């Protein structure tokens, strides 16, 4: 009996010696202060010892997992940090800051779908995920994921957010305000219908963006933006919460919609410039039509562009205006060049191997031979004679081409007298 008792005491002593000692209180306070200041490398070891000593402390494990995640560079370190977050979330379902940090790490690992699911859990618990997506660098890539944002909108949330924690590197939670009144001039039913309509309009905007229908995107955006003009009249707490999620999601999509608007306007302007270019290439050339496109269509487009308040609209308008003026100038130069009325009638090769172009002035009927460097009149210089064209410079800066179209010569009926049409043997 005495030997058995001694054995139990010895086993208990060994167990006590193997139990890791918790860090001293002052050492732990310094580690937490380092964590709060973002000095994760100074906090990770002490927090790791604290977690080993008190594994049930969710707050300590969360801080330790965050340190491991922020310091992780290799896939192995990231997986180790992920396991720490999984432990926190598994035993503390309401620890939504841990869910957001875990989603942040999942994005780094490349598990985006799991990150979205984790963020939806945090949103359902009252965390302001819209703000996180806007402000946390690793999560900003989700701002253009309209389907994900729509899923967040449909998540049922409590009226008040969970308690804010001390980590300054997480997005602060914004508790929902209580309604100071019930109605504000609108009945409860009208407020509910108004918010439901806002959600429907937002869904239309998301659908248009997924379909890549630019005009539908702009129309849906305008409809929702106009509808939200009366949002201050929604005062009931539950409806304000629903509407707040719509507004947050709408704000998140604004940059993408702005990009669609800019692309549509740019395409419209490019279409006008292409029409001007095509008119210049038409035969006969109608300079008046080119000028109408510049003075009417392009000016109307520029007014629309400048009124859009899109980023860079003024600079973009300047580029379109300059290109329109350039096209009109080219049309006038082409008209003047066409008035020379020249035709290349032959390309000859001299014994020295120099190409010569035979060019006829159709007005006077005179033909002359030209080689590279020769001038035709005062404004046209031949710069190269090629097998099928003559390259020129008009008025010292405008490249122009005189095309050569070889003609098939009809040598007539060369049969001998009395010969049948099929030849001598027929």
Check residue 18 and give its pLDDT: 45
Separation between Cα atoms, residue 327 and residue 240, nearest integer Å = 54
**Mean pLDDT throughout 116-128?**
85
Which residue bears the tokens 């290799």? 74
**Mean pLDDT throughout 225-252?**
87
Predicted confidence (pLDDT) per residue in 204-232, tens digit: 888 888 887 888 888 888 888 888 888 88
- The percentage of residues in the chain with a pLDDT greater than 70, rounded to a whole number, is 82
Is the distance from CB of 198 to CB of 243 less than 8 angstroms? Answer: yes
User: For 53-57, 273-277, 294-298, which range has the lowest pLDDT when averaged over its residues?
Assistant: 53-57
Greater confidence (24 vs 19) lies with: 24
Inform me whether the pLDDT recorded for 161 exceeds 90.
no
Dihedral sign of CA atoms 129, 134, 139, 141 in order: positive
Separation between Cα atoms, residue 8 and residue 299, nearest integer Å = 96
Greater confidence (257 vs 366) lies with: 366
Inform me whether the pLDDT recorded for 336 exceeds 50.
yes
Check residue 358 and give its pLDDT: 94
Phi, psi angle pair for 153, to nearest 5°? -60, -35
pLDDT band for 366, please (50, 70, 90 cuts).
very high
Greater confidence (54 vs 403) lies with: 403
**Mean pLDDT throughout 390-398?**
92
Check residue 185 and give its pLDDT: 55
Between CA 151 and CA 215, with CA 244 as vertex, the angle to 5 degrees is 65
Inform me whether the pLDDT recorded for 20 exceeds 70.
no
Check residue 74 and give its pLDDT: 92
Q: Which residues of 29-55 are buried (b: 16+ CB within 10 A; e: fewer)?
A: eebbebbeeeebeebbebbbbbbeeee
Global model pTM greater than 0.75 = no
Inform me whether the pLDDT recorded for 360 exceeds 90.
yes
Inform me whether the pLDDT recorded for 123 exceeds 70.
yes
- Rg of the chain (C-alpha set): 39
Q: What is the mean pLDDT of the chain?
A: 80
pLDDT band for 154, please (50, 70, 90 cuts).
low
């Amino acid at each position: 009996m005495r030997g058995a008792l001694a054995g139990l005491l010895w086993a208990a002593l060994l167990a006590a010696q193997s139990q890791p000692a918790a860090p001293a209180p002052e050492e732990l306070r310094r580690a937490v202060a380092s964590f709060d200041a973002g000095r994760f490398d100074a906090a990770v070891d002490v927090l790791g010892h604290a977690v080993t000593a008190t594994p049930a402390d969710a707050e300590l494990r969360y801080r330790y997992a965050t340190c491991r995640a922020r310091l992780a560079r290799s896939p192995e370190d990231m997986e180790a940090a992920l396991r720490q977050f999984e432990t926190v979330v598994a035993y503390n379902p309401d620890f939504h800051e841990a869910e957001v940090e875990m989603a942040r790490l999942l994005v780094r690992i490349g598990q985006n779908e799991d990150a979205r699911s984790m963020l939806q859990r945090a949103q359902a618990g009252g965390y302001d995920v819209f703000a996180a997506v806007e402000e946390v660098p690793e999560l900003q890539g989700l701002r253009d994921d309209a389907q994900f944002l729509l899923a967040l909108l449909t998540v049922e949330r409590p009226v008040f957010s969970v308690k804010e924690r001390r980590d300054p590197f997480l997005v602060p939670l914004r508790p929902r305000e209580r309604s100071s009144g019930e109605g504000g001039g609108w009945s409860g039913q009208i407020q509910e219908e108004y918010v439901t309509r806002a959600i429907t309009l937002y869904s239309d905007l998301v659908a248009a963006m997924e379909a890549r229908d630019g005009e539908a995107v702009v129309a849906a955006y305008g409809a929702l933006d106009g509808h939200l003009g009366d949002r201050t009249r929604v005062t009931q707490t539950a409806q304000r919460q629903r509407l707040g999620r719509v507004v947050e999601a709408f704000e998140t999509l604004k940059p993408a919609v702005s990009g669609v608007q800019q692309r549509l306007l740019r395409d419209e302007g490019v279409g006008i410039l292409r029409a001007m270019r095509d008119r210049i290439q038409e035969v006969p050339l109608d300079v008046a039509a080119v000028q109408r496109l510049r003075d009417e269509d392009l000016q109307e487009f520029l007014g629309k562009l400048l009124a859009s308040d899109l980023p860079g609209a003024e600079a973009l308008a300047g580029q379109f205006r300059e290109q329109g003026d350039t096209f009109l100038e080219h049309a006038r130069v082409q008209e003047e060049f066409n008035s020379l009325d020249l035709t290349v009638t032959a390309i000859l090769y001299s014994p020295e191997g120099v190409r010569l172009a035979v060019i006829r002035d159709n007005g006077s009927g005179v033909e002359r031979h030209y080689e590279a460097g020769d001038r035709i009149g005062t404004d046209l210089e031949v710069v190269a004679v090629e097998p099928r064209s003559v390259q020129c410079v008009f008025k010292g800066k405008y490249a122009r081409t005189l095309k050569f179209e070889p003609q098939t010569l009809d040598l007539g009926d060369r049969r001998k007298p009395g010969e049948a049409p099929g030849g001598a043997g027929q």
